[in-house]
């Protein structure tokens, strides 16, 4: 069979594009090297709990059109992300708000909290030149050292003083007693998990799993008129300009013989005394009442070939290298690059969907 589009990657970008293409009468083949659809949003049911296999995925958006689109394929619950930060035996609410400040300093009013933060911001006659200086200029010494420094250094594998300032351009300070992490008006978790949502997007579309594009369909023009590629852009070009840098993650998941392990879906471990950055208790995403619970420890690590790439390292060197790859990509006939890896950008889920919808609109108007 000949297809209008070969789509590499059954994650959100590829699945949304395939869905819109089908609605416009196009034939698509979606392939994925993994043994499942859904990309990093994939959920696996264990002990009756939808486990986020590749880390916590919490849908949130300001984009009403995106919200209405995903609600065509899933009913969302009213989960509100209210993570906890833990350092040693101390627990703090996130995002940084009056509950955080009250616990840390004993302050009672926003004015007291603002003054405490101001008193801890170092005076400087130059713009922050690295992440540490940037964070200190925004939140002061206590919050930086307890809740930012250790977590960030574990996440990126470098000292904060060696990281570019723009990585942390803003650290939201909320001078209210509001633990809702996101300001977006639309947020929640698909009831039944993300996998079911993507299954509905791909209904009636040909899908091949355990399929390596480079081994089986590198010469895509033999079976399709166009290619939608959501893998690593440097891999597509056989790394001819060099390797882009990524950060990866490993996970340790276990069953706990209790109905409630930590009382919240996400606890960030901001100290260096533990090697992981956060612990996820999956049942809380859907208000589960199962007699057991599933928890996952999340460990950041350096990416190596063969590993899943999660986070692009958008420092000066990698940004310039991506710019060169983008020039090559723009010269590729009938190839669309999309998603986090194809565009070498950190996208939230709603942004991935927005980009895919916009791309499809350009294709099918």
Active site residue 247: yes
Active-site hit among 145, 184, 297, 348 = 348
Active-site hit among 2, 118, 125, 170 = 170
Active site residue 348: yes
Active-site hit among 203, 304, 346, 358 = 346
Backbone angles phi, psi at 220, to 5 degrees: -65, -25
Q: Tell me the C-alpha to C-alpha distance, in Å, between residue 171 and each of 34, 36, 165, 311.
A: 35, 36, 12, 19
Who's near 99: CB < 8 A, 6+ residues apart?
92, 93, 177, 179
| Alpha carbon of residue 158 to chain centroid | 20
Q: What's the full length of the chain, in residues?
A: 365
Q: Dig out the tokens for 210 from the structure.
A: 């355990």
Active-site hit among 153, 234, 281, 298 = 298
Active-site hit among 174, 229, 347, 354 = 174
What residue has token string 């998941």? 253
Structural contact between residues 242 and 59, judged by C-beta atoms closer than 8 angstroms? no
Active-site hit among 247, 308, 311, 315 = 247
Active-site hit among 278, 325, 340, 354 = 278
Active site residue 245: no
Rg over CA atoms, the chain: 22
Active site residues: 170, 174, 247, 278, 298, 346, 348
């Amino acid at each position: 069979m000949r297809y209008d589009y070969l789509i590499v990657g059954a994650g959100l970008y590829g699945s949304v594009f395939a869905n819109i293409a089908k609605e416009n009468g196009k034939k698509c083949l979606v392939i994925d090297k993994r043994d499942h659809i859904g990309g990093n949003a994939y959920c696996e049911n264990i002990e009756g709990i939808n486990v986020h296999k590749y880390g916590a995925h919490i849908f949130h958006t300001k984009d009403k059109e995106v919200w209405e689109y995903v609600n065509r394929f899933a009913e969302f619950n009213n989960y509100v992300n209210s993570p906890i930060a833990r350092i040693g035996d101390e627990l703090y609410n996130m995002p940084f708000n009056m509950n955080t400040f009250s616990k840390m300093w004993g302050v009672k009013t926003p004015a007291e909290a603002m003054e405490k933060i101001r008193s801890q911001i170092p005076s400087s006659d130059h713009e922050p030149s690295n992440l540490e200086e940037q964070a200190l200029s925004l939140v002061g010494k206590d919050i930086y050292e307890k809740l930012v420094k250790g977590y960030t250094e574990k996440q990126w594998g470098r000292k904060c003083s060696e990281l570019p300032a723009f990585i942390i351009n803003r650290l939201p300070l909320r001078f209210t007693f509001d633990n809702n992490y996101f300001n977006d008006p639309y947020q929640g978790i698909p009831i039944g998990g993300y996998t079911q949502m993507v299954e509905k997007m791909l209904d009636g579309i040909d899908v091949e799993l355990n399929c390596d594009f480079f081994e089986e369909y590198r010469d895509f023009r033999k079976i399709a008129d166009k290619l939608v590629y959501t893998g690593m852009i440097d891999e597509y070009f056989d790394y001819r300009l060099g390797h882009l840098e990524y950060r990866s993650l490993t996970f340790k998941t276990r069953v706990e013989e209790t109905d409630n392990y930590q009382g919240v879906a996400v606890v960030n471990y901001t100290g260096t005394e533990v090697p992981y950055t956060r612990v996820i208790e999956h049942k809380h995403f859907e208000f589960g009442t199962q007699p057991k619970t599933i928890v996952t420890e999340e460990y950041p690590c350096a990416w190596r070939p063969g590993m899943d790439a999660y986070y692009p390292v958008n420092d000066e060197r990698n940004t310039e290298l991506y710019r060169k790859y983008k020039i090559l990509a723009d010269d590729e006939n009938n190839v669309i690059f999309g998603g986090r890896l194809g565009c070498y950008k950190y996208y939230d889920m709603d942004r991935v969907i927005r980009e895919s919808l916009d791309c499809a609109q350009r294709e099918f108007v």
